[in-house]
Amino acid sequence: MCLGVPGQVVSVDGLTAVVDFFGVRRETRLDVIDEAVAPGDYILNHVGFAIRRIPGGEIAETLALYETLLAEAGSDMMADDVRGEIEAAGARLEPTAPGLGGSLGRGGREAGP
């Protein structure tokens, strides 16, 4: 099974965006996304490609679901890797979208390719 990862768009340059994934910033391609995005929007990322813009009303639910998936994954190798990156960035699994509070996007660091 494949899992898309939600993240917040930090900047957009043509078909590339810098996206904050729980404090870890990565470049993400915008070639296949379903609609245009701007800084502050949330996207669903799959293998380096934004595949969907997450509507504002679904952000909190999407992030909560992702947090639940990580919590219930136990010591799954992929979940451990995601947790390690989040911990290294000093972030938590909470959104910073207006009205949602939290720390997604704060204290992020650029991650290698």
Residue 17 lies in a domain: yes
Query: What is the DSSP pairing of strand 24-29 with strand 109-110?
Result: parallel
Residue 63 CB-half CA count within 13 A? 24
Residue 38 lies in a domain: yes
Give the per-residue pLDDT at 78.
Answer: 72
Q: How many domains is the chain built from?
A: 1
- Residue 70 sits in which domain range? 5-98
pLDDT digits (tens, 9 = 90+) for 58-105: 999 988 888 888 788 777 777 777 777 777 766 655 544 443 433 343
**Is this structure's pTM higher than 0.85?**
no
- Residue 19's SS3 state is strand
Residue 103 lies in a domain: no
Which CATH number does the domain housing residue 45 bear? 2.30.30.140
Which tokens belong to 40? 């502050």
Residue 85 CB-half CA count within 13 A? 18
Residue 66: Cβ within 10 Å count: 19
